[in-house]
Amino acid sequence: LFFLCSLGVAFIAVQWSGPSFHAESLKGARVLVTGASTGIGEQLAYHYARLGAQLVITARRGNVLEQVVNKCLELGAQKALFIPADMANPEDSDRVVQYAIDQLGGLDYLILNHIGPSPYRMWDGDVEHTRWLLQVNFLSFVQMAKNALPTLEKSNGSIVVVSSLLGKVTSPFALPYAATKFALNGFFGGLQHELAMQGSNVSVTICTLGLIDTETAMEKIKGYINISAYPAHEAAWHIIAGGASRLTETYYPWYTYYVCLFRDWFPYYRDLATRNSYTYNPQTVG
Ligand code: NDP
C-alpha cells in the first residue's frame, strides 16, 4: 500500500511540475507561432524570443504583430518576422507556412494556436458560424500541418497543437468552439499514430488547457462561471516545454489531467456537476 501511495504521489508531482527540457535546445530553433498578436500566442512568442529562437508570427492584425515582433527582438530573438493572415482564407494557411520556410530556411516547430472569435452563449442554431469556425480553428491547422510536414521531417521537427479541456469534455455555451477542439484532438491524435507507424521523425504534441487568464477568455466567461484562471505566460511555457520534450499530450493546469482521467467514471454526476457550475438565467442571457 505504501509503495502504491508513493507511486501515486510521485505521479501527481510529475503532473504538477510539468515537462522539463533543455532551454539551450531552443536557441536558434526555427519557430512559426499562429495567433501570436495577443493572449497565449503572444506569450509563446516572448518565451521563444528569450530562449533565442528564430520566429515567424502570424495573426490578422499586422500593426499589433509588428509591436510583438519588436518586443521579441528586444528580448533576444535571433530573428523575428511577422506575416498578417486570415485563417478563414485557405490560401493564407499555405502562404504563411511557405513564408516561414523561405524566411527561416526550414522549420523546427509549428505552433498551431490561433482561434477565431466565437460567442459564448446558448447555441442559436447558427450553422454558418460553425462552418466558418471549423475552417479557422480546425481546417487551417490541418492545412498548415500538411504544408509543414515535409520540412519538419527533414529537421526532426514538431507540431504543437493548442487544444482545450472543452475538446475532451462536453459543456454548454461554446458548442462550435468545442466542436473544433474535439476535431483537432481526433485528427492530430490519429496523425500521431500514423506518423509513429511510418517511423516519422516528426512529433505531434496536443496541449489540453483549462481556463487561462487571457483578455478574450475572461471577457467571455464573465457572469457564466466563477473558477480560477491560470496565467497565460505559464500556460505558454508549459506548451513550449511539452513541444520541446516531444510529449504526445500535455495538460495545463494540473486539474485538466484529472478531469480527463476520471471523465467517464461517473457520467451522471459529471454532467450534474458541469451544469451546476454555470450560472444561467434565461431572462438575461441568450
Ligand atoms: P486569444 O483570443 O487571446 O487570441 C487569439 C489569436 O488568434 C489572436 O492572436 C488573434 O489575432 C488570432 N486570430 C483570431 N482570428 C483569426 C483568424 N481568422 N485568422 C488568424 N488569426 C486569428 O486566444 P487565447 O490566447 O485565449 O487562446 C489561445 C489558444 O489557447 C487557443 O487555441 C484556445 O483555444 C486555447 N485555449 C485557451 C483557453 C483560455 O482560457 N484562454 C482555454 C483553453 C484553450 P487577430 O485578432 O490579430 O487575428
Atom of ligand 1 nearest to the CA of 61: 47
Query: Tell me, what's the pLDDT at 286?
Result: 46
Rounded distance from Cα 218 to ligand 1 centre (Å)? 13
Query: Tell me, what's the pLDDT at 237?
Result: 98
DSSP-based three-state secondary structure for 43:
helix
The pLDDT of 174-190, averaged and rounded, is 98
Q: Nearest C-alpha to atom 41 of ligand 1 is from which residue?
A: 212
Q: Where are the domains of the chain?
A: 23-258+266-276
Atom of ligand 1 nearest to the CA of 37: 9
ipTM higher than the 0.85 cut: yes
Query: Tell me, what's the pLDDT at 280?
Result: 85
Ligand 1 mutation target, pool 33, 38, 215, most atoms within 8 A of CB: 38
pLDDT at 17 over 80: no
CA 87, CA 67: separation in Å to the nearest integer? Answer: 21
Rounded distance from Cα 212 to ligand 1 centre (Å)? 11
Structure letter (DSSP) for residue 122: S
Rounded distance from Cα 233 to ligand 1 centre (Å)? 14
Rounded distance from Cα 214 to ligand 1 centre (Å)? 9
What tens digit of pLDDT does each residue of 33-89 get?
Answer: 999 999 999 999 999 999 999 999 999 999 999 999 999 999 999 999 999 999 999
Structure letter (DSSP) for residue 212: B
CA 141, CA 159: separation in Å to the nearest integer? Answer: 10
What tens digit of pLDDT does each residue of 76-122 get?
Answer: 999 999 999 999 999 999 999 999 999 999 999 999 999 999 999 99
pLDDT at 14 over 60: no
Q: Nearest C-alpha to atom 46 of ligand 1 is from which residue?
A: 60
Which amino acid makes up residue 125? G
pLDDT at 15 over 80: no
Residues with CB under 6 A from ligand 1: 35-41, 59-61, 64, 85-88, 113-116, 136, 162, 164, 209, 211-212, 214, 216-217
Q: Nearest C-alpha to atom 24 of ligand 1 is from which residue?
A: 39
Instruction: Please give the torsion angle defined by the CA atoms of residues 111, 112, 113 and 115, in that order, rounded to the nearest 10 degrees.
Output: 160
- Name, in order, each residue with C-beta under 8 angstroms of 251's C-beta and a sequence gap of 6 or more: 15, 207, 208, 257, 260
CATH of 23-258+266-276, one of 2.130.10.10, 2.40.340.10, 3.40.50.720, 3.40.50.1820: 3.40.50.720
- Active centre residues (catalytic): 177
Shortest CA distance to 81 belongs to which of 116, 108, 109, 53? Answer: 53
* Three cell numbers, residue 71: 518586443
Rounded distance from Cα 114 to ligand 1 centre (Å)? 4
